Amino acid sequence: MARYGMALDYKNCINCKACEVACKEENGVELGAEKHRIWVGGNNPEGQWPLLDIASAAFLPSQCQQCDEAPCEEVCPTHATYYDENGVVRVDADKCILCSYCMNACPYDARYVDDRTMTVDKCTFCSDTRLARGETTTACQNTCPTKVRTFGDLDDPNSEISELLRTREHFSLKSHLGTNPKLFYLT
Amino acid sequence: MNFIKKIIPMKDFTLRSLMQFEKTPLNMLMFVITIALLVAFGWGVVEYLVHSHHAYNITRQHPWGLLIAMYIFFVVSSTGLCIVGSLGDVFGFKDYMAMSKRAILGSIVTILAGFAVIAFEIGHPVRMLIYNVLSPGLTSAIWWMGTLYGIYLTFMIIEFIFLMRNDMKNARIFGLTGLLVGLAAHSNLGGVFGFLNARIISNGVFYPTYFILTAFITGIYLTYLMYGFRYKMQIPDDIKKGLLGLAKIQALLLGILMFFETWKLMTAVYGGMPGRADTAEHIFHSAGFLYGEVLCGMVIPFVVMLATKWQSIKLYVFTSFIGMIGIFFMRYDLVHDTQVKPLQMMKITEYQLPPTWIEYFPSAAEIAIGFGAIGIFFMLYYFGQKMFELDATEH
């Protein structure tokens, strides 16, 4: 049993989107722009050429924040959304009734409908694939050329992620909502 | 049939007599409208069964559409009619006694129409019935809303049976219980939106209370429409007194609603809080809000009632029709406005513009099912009128 989390050194992101491709390939995510478990957000640079504010054109890789207090889990009427033994927020497709309440409740737009099962799907930290095979990396982390992502056990003080969170300043997205995400953005 | 008649008194009818009605122009118009709506509903259901949710224009960013709005429209109507029906048989106001049977029948058929809509919105309705019991999500407002509405419908049916048997004591007990469960269910429906921390325009106490207030208003609008149609504007005196009383209540409720709405918008805009103020301003400039909610739903009925000093029932029947159009926009806007602000404000696909407001317009299948369910309400109400004696005034 672990408590998995992820640290993102997001300033290293070059928007190559290899993580998006790896996620789709590893987890068999449907094709289509709307069907994605992870994504890289980007801003257009502000200002007028040639005085462009390059610093404003940041990339922000993101996905399900694996909240400790997940709104999607709270609002699910049939407990289809649950925390597994590793603290990962998962969806039991057999129980999902597709009321879409979780999609509305998730502050991060991290959920989508899988048209094959007609249930809601989301990032599982590769629980059904890599973690199930005994590996301790995720597809997005493994493929990243600039090592943006560090995945590991937050309860293990010797893990790389614990070390990073002890030594680097970090923030979480929409932390004011009290969701306690397990994705940490390193500054 | 005799066994059923022992439980609930019914008129003598045959299948043939159920299908026969006086061929007046108004009745014929209602007949044609009802059939057209039922055909539309059937077509929409076929579209859904063939194409699943692809028949709808809902998206990842806007997962709730017209069908959720129409479900709310019907269940709000049901709660409202339950409140109006309770005025007489639960709270003992004599002026409203004669309305109880018709209002309670209305509350039953409206919620059935609502269930017909939601059955084609929920992806797995049968699974819902199973896991609602086997794996209840007690922290979910949808679970409480759905479960309480199920119990509410049961109580409404039992109350109706006792009303038809003229057993006012038991009707009162089940009526009061049904009313309380209905109010709990309905405020939970408001809670479905109020609990959404991610949607700050909807988050908070407003919707759970607003739903009860607008339910009462909707119930009064529908009572006017039902009696206007039943008596072709020649309202008998015993009903007239109650309807005139309802007009005064309606004016008061509309005044409170306008007061609430004004403060909701002002507090939303004040301070310019990102995500809330800009959304409120966006809502304020939308035609649905201005012409639908404000003008049709509130201002026109309120002004008409004030100008006529609560004495013109015929006029109120027409304004109630306008009012119901406004109520529809209230439900539609509530659902749409909750989702209109994108949760993801960065562009995630190359060569796209950064997200602005989320746009949504219902598909033909959504329109067919959503509005077609009004035909289900008309049909069930018509059969209810044919099968039960709803006009008895003496208890």
Measured CA to CA, the distance from residue B122 to residue A120 in angstroms comes to 12
Taking each helix axis as running N to C, give the angle between helix B237-269 and helix B313-339, from 0 to 180 degrees, rounded to the nearest 10: 30
Which residues of chain A are within 8 Å of residue B52 when distances are taken between CB atoms?
115, 118
Domain count along chain A: 1
CA distance A44 to chain B (A): 8
CA distance B348 to chain A (A): 5
Nearest CA in chain B to A105: B196
Nearest partner of B100 among B36, B164, B26, judged by Cα: B164
ipTM, two decimals: 0.91
Secondary structure class of B211 (helix, strand, coil): helix
Which residues of chain A are within 8 Å of residue B196 when distances are taken between CB atoms?
71, 104-105
Identify the residue whose tokens are 């089940």: B174
User: A12 is in which domain, residue-wise?
Assistant: 4-70+122-186
Q: Which of A74, A98, A174 sits opposite B123 (nearest CB)?
A: A98
Residues paired with residue A149 on neighbouring β-strands, in sequence order: A8
* Mean pLDDT along residues B251-264: 95
Residue B57 · residue B362 · CB < 8 Å: yes
Q: Which residues contact B109 (CB under 8 A, 6 or more apart)?
A: B377, B380, B381, B384
Q: B283 or B5: whose pLDDT is higher?
A: B283
Q: Is residue A137 part of a domain?
A: yes
Which residues of chain A are within 8 Å of residue B198 when distances are taken between CB atoms?
71, 104-107, 174, 177
- For the CA atoms of B193, B198, B202, B205, the dihedral, rounded to the nearest 10 degrees, stands at 80
* Mean pLDDT along residues B16-26: 89
Residue B318: per-residue pLDDT? 94
Q: What is the mean pLDDT of chain B?
A: 93
Measured CA to CA, the distance from residue B174 to residue B146 in angstroms comes to 19
Secondary structure class of A150 (helix, strand, coil): strand
Q: pLDDT tens digits, residue range B43-52?
A: 999 999 999 9
CA distance B72 to chain A (A): 14
Q: Which of B63, B122, B139 sits opposite A104 (nearest CB)?
A: B63
Q: What is the CATH number of the domain that holds A35?
A: 3.30.70.20
Residue B392: per-residue pLDDT? 57
Q: Which of B53, B137, B192 sits opposite A79 (nearest CB)?
A: B137
Q: How confident is the model at residue B59 (pLDDT cuts 50, 70, 90)?
A: very high
Taking each helix axis as running N to C, give the angle between helix B364-387 and helix B66-89, from 0 to 180 degrees, rounded to the nearest 10: 20
Residue A147: per-residue pLDDT? 94
Which residues of chain B are within 8 Å of residue A118 when distances are taken between CB atoms?
52-53, 123-124
Cross-chain Cβ contact A75/B354 below 8 Å: no
Q: Which of A39, A71, A96 sits opposite B197 (nearest CB)?
A: A71
Measured CA to CA, the distance from residue B341 to residue A183 in angstroms comes to 23
Residue B345: per-residue pLDDT? 82
Measured CA to CA, the distance from residue B81 to residue B262 in angstroms comes to 26
Q: B395 or A138: whose pLDDT is higher?
A: A138
Identify the residue whose tokens are 């003008």: B295
Percent helix, strand and coil across chain B, each to the nearest 5: 75, 0, 25
* Mean pLDDT along residues B370-380: 97
Which residues of chain A are within 8 Å of residue B63 when distances are taken between CB atoms?
100, 103-104, 113
Cross-chain Cβ contact A106/B343 below 8 Å: yes
pLDDT (tens, 9 = 90+) of chain A, 187 residues, equals 899 999 999 999 999 999 999 999 999 999 988 899 999 998 888 889 889 988 888 899 999 999 999 999 999 999 999 999 999 999 999 999 999 999 999 999 999 999 999 999 999 999 999 999 999 999 999 999 999 999 999 999 999 999 999 999 999 999 999 999 999 999 9
pLDDT at B224 over 90: yes
Cβ neighbours, 10 Å, residue B325? 17
Domain map (residue ranges) of chain B:
30-387
Which residues of chain A are within 8 Å of residue B346 when distances are taken between CB atoms?
41-43, 60
Residue B224 · residue B321 · CB < 8 Å: no
* Mean pLDDT along residues B102-122: 96
pLDDT at B393 over 60: no
B58, B60, B195, best to mutate vs chain A, most A CBs in 10 Å = B60
Nearest partner of A169 among A10, A58, A42, judged by Cα: A10
| Structural tokens at position A62 | 């993101």
Residues of B with CB under 8 A from a CB of A: 52-54, 58-61, 63-64, 122-125, 127-128, 131-132, 135-137, 139-143, 146, 192, 195-199, 338-339, 342-344, 346-349, 354
Residues paired with residue A90 on neighbouring β-strands, in sequence order: A82
Cross-chain Cβ contact A41/B198 below 8 Å: no
Residue A29 CA to its chain's centroid (Å): 14
Q: How confident is the model at residue B395 (pLDDT cuts 50, 70, 90)?
A: very low
Which residues of chain B are within 8 Å of residue A115 when distances are taken between CB atoms?
52, 54
Residue B4: per-residue pLDDT? 84
pLDDT at B291 over 60: yes
Residue B18: per-residue pLDDT? 87
Q: Is residue A109 part of a domain?
A: no
Residue A62: per-residue pLDDT? 94
What DSSP character marks residue B388?
Answer: S
Is 3.30.300.30 the CATH number for B30-387? no
* Mean pLDDT along residues B216-224: 96
Residue B294 · residue B254 · CB < 8 Å: no
pLDDT at B14 over 90: no
Q: Which residues contact B53 (CB under 8 A, 6 or more apart)?
A: A98, A113, A118, B123
Which H or E run contains A182? none
pLDDT at B197 over 70: yes
Q: pLDDT tens digits, residue range B300-319?
A: 999 999 999 888 888 999 99
Cα of first residue to Cα of last residue in chain B, in angstroms, is: 25
